[in-house]
Structure 1
Amino acid sequence: MRKSKTETEETIQKLITIARRHFGEKGYADVALEEIVTEANLTRGALYHHFKNKKGLFLAVFEAVQKEVGDRVEQEAANSQDMWQQLVNGCRAFLTAAVESQNHRILLIDGPAVLGWDTFRMMDQKYSMNSLREQLQLMQEHGQLLPVSIDALTHCLSGAMNEAALWLAEYPQKPVTEIMTTLEILLEGFRQHPTNM
């Protein structure tokens, strides 16, 4: 009997949810697909029907985490009408979400290692860098940023935040505010003040 589209989507989401927990807790290398299908009450065949292999399942999990983090960044940024504060809020939301225990291993450790840099960067661009670039472009158009290359600034900020998130994940006792204080000072260097115009 064929499954309906809704049932198929529910099965896919169930597998992604269970796999996300396993990948987040154990890391890609230590996760056995058998554990995931047993918990999902499915067969290996069902998993392979939706995901070609373990790497395919991980890619789906990685993309789900990227999307969730991207949504959180957008929501936090929208809590202010001030474009500069939107940028700061978005940066803080990214760092906070990226270092959460269920995310950091998937996003920052296994993501680049398992998927390779090309896929990792493509996903990072799709879910993080594009939004950051749009915000910076808008700020520059409204005279809030110095006339620097938006592409260069986007890559610099994205790289800095990824590296900061790795550092925070390695030293969980470090508060996000320590990074944010440094990041805000860094951002101030690109701010266009009326006297600079």
Structure 2
Amino acid sequence: VNEVAARAPTRWQHFVDECTTYIEMALEPEIQRIMFRDGPAVLGDPAQWSNANACVGSMTDHLTALQQEGMVVPGVDPETAAGLINGASSQAAQRIANSNDPEATSRKVVAAFKQLLEG
């Protein structure tokens, strides 16, 4: 995820690429099994996993910086927005992982997710 996002020309594109790369990871069978099938069955709600908190923290930092640069609407709480974006990206990845046609679902989900981010 970080490798793809690091190539982005702007902080905003870095943020978008980081989110969409996470979503597209759901195309990988091993990720599907660990993150969306076996993991939740054994470890419970993925939103409560320690890495979820780290992800929201990273998103919050990105959104705070983007807000300071004028790329995110002033007055929007970055932590709240990060939690909502994290939830949307998790749901998007779940749709891909549980799809009968993951490739087609991925294209639709990523397009819709980008539209949500762009407004």
* Runs (5+) with no aligned partner, structure 1: 1-72, 190-197
- Of the structure 1 ranges 137-146 and 171-180, higher mean CA displacement relative to structure 2 is found in 171-180
Q: Which has the larger radius of gyration?
A: 1
User: Between the two proteins, what is the percent identity of the paired residues?
Assistant: 29
1-side partners of 2:42 and 2:21: how far apart?
25
Residue 82 of structure 2 corresponds to residue 146 of structure 1: no
2-side partners of 1:118 and 1:157: how far apart?
15
| 2:36–2:97 CA contact under 8 A, matched in 1 | no
Change (3 A) 1:119 1:155: closer
1-side partners of 2:112 and 2:45: how far apart?
27
Partner of 1:82: 10
* Runs (5+) with no aligned partner, structure 2: none
Q: CA deviation at 1:86?
A: 0.8
Change (3 A) 1:80 1:152: same
Q: CA deviation at 1:175?
A: 4.2
2:50 partner letter? M
Change (3 A) 1:86 1:75: same
- Pick from 141, 157, 160 the counterpart of residue 88 of structure 2: 160
Residue 49 of structure 2 corresponds to residue 121 of structure 1: yes
Change (3 A) 1:90 1:76: same
2-side partners of 1:97 and 1:153: how far apart?
22
After superposition, the C-alpha distances for 1:39-84 in whole angstroms (9 at most, x for unaligned) are xxxxxxxxxxxxxxxxxxxxxxxxxxxxxxxxxx221111113112
Query: Structure with the greater relative contact order (CA < 8 A, sep ≥ 6): 1 or 2?
Result: 2
